[in-house]
Structure 1
Amino acid sequence: MIKNINYLDQEIFNLEMENIHNSGWVFVCLKEQISAENDFVTYEISKKSLVIQNFEGDIKCFENICQHRFNKIQTGYIGNSPFFCKYHAWTYDSNGKALVNQSFTDQLILENRNCLKQYEVGINGEFVFVKVNQDSKLSLKEHLGDFDQILSNLSSYFDKQISNEYTIIPHHANWKLLVENVLECYHCSTVHKETLVPIGIGTKKPENHVTDRNHDMIDYPIRIGKQQKIRNEKLSFLNKRLFKHSSLRHIYVFPNLFITSTDGILFYIGKLNPQSPDNTDLLVSFVKPILNDLTTKEAILSNAFFNSSLDSSTKVIYEDKVILENIQKNLSMVEGLSQIFGDEEFRIERFHDNVKRNVEYI
């Protein structure tokens, strides 16, 4: 297993950014988040600063660094703004060309940087990806493998986000700890006894494990007890959803996308954004399922239900965050040791095997 020092060391982190997070395709956003003219999201990691922007319905990705004095063109993780730098108002067209006077244009041409560096965008269903390594020949379909169909099928059941904003949850923890945490539900019955256990999650063994490339999917079956039956009767409008699977279905798309479907009732989308060896931003969205033929009363009830689900689902993340930050603090005291994994943590062992193929750890 990977020794604890590799969750602390800056040089190892730099290698992970270069060989894992900046080596190919990464998830950047949902299509809904950049559906309007001038909608944008940014992606900043290690030595990459990118902006993904809607240009009259055409989604493009450019380096998010102004050619003039190197200010960020778009700021914040998500927003809506014309494509111009807020320092000296340099404006760029949909090809990344600066619309400036001839004197500036001549200088940019002379230095062979008259256009912003552009990156390939790939879309699978409702998921938007960017190929951050321009030298890579790998297509998005090849990157996803069997998960190409899994993602497109899953997102066909998406309705709208519950909130239009990202929830950004900074973690004082190494990015690998966040991945490891979502790759098992062994902790669910203790850490999430007030959030997941009451809805029947965390008491049954996982099943239906699917892997391809470095990606991973599994079902954690939901136990239907008396409490769940009463809840289901009160929320009968949820039976009008199109996607049902009686489990907490978790998908990890390597290297930075987490997806959870709670029996097709609620979809969680998490984007991992490592900042340093001991700091990781988790950008969170929650998506409602398509519900057919709701009555007016059912529509009102569903809105109330999904708003309350947003709060309880976010609480799950904060419950994990406390644990992960405690672990990160302790790693420096036992940096020569490695974690121990049991039978229910087999997905973590596979994740370790995958990252070790890309990075030579200490």
Structure 2
Amino acid sequence: MIAKPALLHPADYLDPGLYAAEQAGIFTHQWQFVGFAEELAEPGRFLTRQIAGEPVLVINMDGDLRAFRNVCTHRFARLKAAEAGQDSGLRCPYHGWAYDREGVPLGIPGNADCFGLDRAAKQGLALKRFALDRIGRFIFVRIAAEGPSLADAMAPHGELLQRLSDGFGPAFSQVAQPWAADWKIGIENVLEVYHVDAVHPESFRSVVDGTWRVAYQGPHSIGHAGMRAEALRWWEGVGKRLGLLAVPGLDHYVHLHLFPNLAIGITAGRLISVQTYEPTGPGRFTLRYRLCLALGGKQGAARAAVESHLTALNETLLGEDRAIAAEVQIGTASADRPALLGANEDRLMQFHQTLLALKNTHRLASGTPPSHPADEERQENRI
């Protein structure tokens, strides 16, 4: 038999204890994409995210980007409630504590009469900081204080991220969408094209021709799909009409997966879809995506029409994926064995191997035993 059992057990998509272990063992230690530099270009601009259970605030502090825990150290109000915005400074909305660029509460109303905090005491109440780094316009945050550099973690794809950063403009469409499925189901869905004929017969199938090859680099992978001749002609025409400068070497459809939960689809070197699959609890996640066109484009009605068409196509495609992912989540609750993966789903096997290896590494480092009996069976399957 060519097919092999998957390395993940249904409990991996359902169990709250396993979800918590995954957050601690995987997401705490991995660099997470949070946004593009232009979203944080001016002082006071901020983004908020939830990473491995931590509320994270990424903010431009007088031209420098900082990542802090999004919680006031006084009585623990959230500093910023919105997912994005711009304020004059970093001030708690509850009692007005104001923080400097290092996260130290230097402005405390009534400090002399009511608190008596000196400089050292204020520094002891500084906001917790997280690691922040960037490749071009791509901004990443890591919760763990220690770990590989961003360049090492993204290798060998840092150069591709830089090319995409240099070759594409700001997002013309940006959406955060709740899905009723485990984040791994979302990732597994985009790692294969086997489902395209059944799930996307009128949307994505009209773009790709069915050919598919994959290359693996450490925990990451990159897939290449041929595009239909009519789709390539459409993009050639759009490129000429709008003056889009295609990024060289990305002529068809390229799909990059950067472990654990960042996926970038590149179409004809002229469109990128940047997607993060952000866990929000057992059996649910938020899909956050941005669509960007290549640089050099002309503004006007023609461009607006193209952007509207691409936005609608993307919404259709993701709506189809969202619906089937919810059905998979429901079905997984009744499953009593791992899924069966064909040779055309090998990319899922590599994803599972990486996930389990890192989870087990951090379990061993913390002295935590396997979380359920299926772990031993899955280890044997992987060997």
* TM-score computed with the length of structure 1 as normaliser: 0.90
Go from structure 1 to structure 2 and tell me whether the alpha carbon gap of 1:60 and 1:348 turns closer, same or farther (over 3 Å shift): same
| Equivalent residue number for residue 215 of structure 2 | 210
1:278 to 264, 275, 283: 283
1:68 aligns with 2:83: no
Please give the secondary structure, in 2, of the residue aligned with 1:122.
strand
1:195 aligns with 2:203: yes
Structure-1 separation of matches of 2:232 and 2:267: 13
| Equivalent residue number for residue 86 of structure 1 | 93
CA contact (8 A) 1:217 1:249 kept: yes
CA contact (8 A) 2:246 2:268 kept: no
CA contact (8 A) 2:35 2:139 kept: yes
| Equivalent residue number for residue 354 of structure 2 | 354
Please give the secondary structure, in 1, of the residue aligned with 2:229.
coil
Give the counterpart letter for 1:308 in structure 2.
Answer: H
Alignment deviations for residues 317-336 of structure 1 (CA, whole Å, 9 cap, x no partner): 111000000111111111x2
CA contact (8 A) 2:43 2:63 kept: yes
Go from structure 1 to structure 2 and tell me whether the alpha carbon gap of 1:46 and 1:235 turns closer, same or farther (over 3 Å shift): closer
CA contact (8 A) 2:104 2:123 kept: no
Deviation, 1:62, is 0.7
Please give the secondary structure, in 2, of the residue aligned with 1:197.
helix
1:115 aligns with 2:121: no
1:175 aligns with 2:183: yes
Deviation, 1:130, is 1.0
- Identity over aligned residues, as a percent? 24
Which segment is superposed worse, 103-112 or 82-91?
A: 103-112
Please give the secondary structure, in 1, of the residue aligned with 2:290.
strand
Go from structure 1 to structure 2 and tell me whether the alpha carbon gap of 1:234 and 1:94 turns closer, same or farther (over 3 Å shift): closer
Alignment deviations for residues 97-124 of structure 1 (CA, whole Å, 9 cap, x no partner): 1121244462895597321111121010
Deviation, 1:154, is 2.0
Give the counterpart letter for 1:116 in structure 2.
Answer: L
Give the counterpart letter for 2:81 in structure 1.
Answer: T
| Equivalent residue number for residue 309 of structure 1 | 310
Structure-1 separation of matches of 2:132 and 2:122: 26
5 Å-filtered alignment, 1:225-240, equals 225=230, 229=233, 232-233=236-237, 236-237=240-241, 240=244
Go from structure 1 to structure 2 and tell me whether the alpha carbon gap of 1:55 and 1:105 turns closer, same or farther (over 3 Å shift): farther
Cα RMSD after superposing both structures: 2.2
Please give the secondary structure, in 2, of the residue aligned with 1:11.
helix
CA contact (8 A) 1:160 1:289 kept: no
CA contact (8 A) 2:10 2:332 kept: yes
| Equivalent residue number for residue 184 of structure 1 | 192
Which segment is superposed worse, 235-244 or 20-29?
A: 235-244
| Equivalent residue number for residue 242 of structure 1 | 246
| Equivalent residue number for residue 26 of structure 1 | 32
5 Å-filtered alignment, 1:2-13, equals 2-13=8-19
Deviation, 1:45, is 3.2
Across the two proteins, how many residue pairs are aligned to each other? 350
1:257 aligns with 2:231: no
* Structure 2: 5+ residue stretches without partners: 1-6, 361-371, 375-383
Alignment deviations for residues 271-318 of structure 1 (CA, whole Å, 9 cap, x no partner): 2210111110111111121126x4x7xx43122201221121122111
Deviation, 1:147, is 1.2
CA contact (8 A) 2:239 2:270 kept: no
Please give the secondary structure, in 2, of the residue aligned with 1:72.
coil
Deviation, 1:169, is 0.7
CA contact (8 A) 1:172 1:280 kept: yes
Go from structure 1 to structure 2 and tell me whether the alpha carbon gap of 1:235 and 1:287 turns closer, same or farther (over 3 Å shift): closer
Give the counterpart letter for 1:120 in structure 2.
Answer: A
Please give the secondary structure, in 2, of the residue aligned with 1:67.
coil
Deviation, 1:40, is 0.8
| Equivalent residue number for residue 149 of structure 1 | 159
1:96 to 81, 100, 103: 103
Give the counterpart letter for 1:305 in structure 2.
Answer: V
Alignment deviations for residues 153-177 of structure 1 (CA, whole Å, 9 cap, x no partner): 22211112104xx411101111110
Structure-1 separation of matches of 2:236 and 2:351: 36
Please give the secondary structure, in 2, of the residue aligned with 1:333.
coil
* Structure 1: 5+ residue stretches without partners: none
Go from structure 1 to structure 2 and tell me whether the alpha carbon gap of 1:231 and 1:242 turns closer, same or farther (over 3 Å shift): closer
Give the counterpart letter for 1:306 in structure 2.
Answer: E
| Equivalent residue number for residue 37 of structure 1 | 43
Go from structure 1 to structure 2 and tell me whether the alpha carbon gap of 1:230 and 1:157 turns closer, same or farther (over 3 Å shift): closer
Give the counterpart letter for 1:38 in structure 2.
Answer: G
Structure-2 separation of matches of 1:105 and 1:288: 54
Alignment deviations for residues 239-271 of structure 1 (CA, whole Å, 9 cap, x no partner): 642315332211111122111111122111112
Give the counterpart letter for 1:271 in structure 2.
Answer: T
Go from structure 1 to structure 2 and tell me whether the alpha carbon gap of 1:204 and 1:96 turns closer, same or farther (over 3 Å shift): same
CA contact (8 A) 1:105 1:114 kept: no
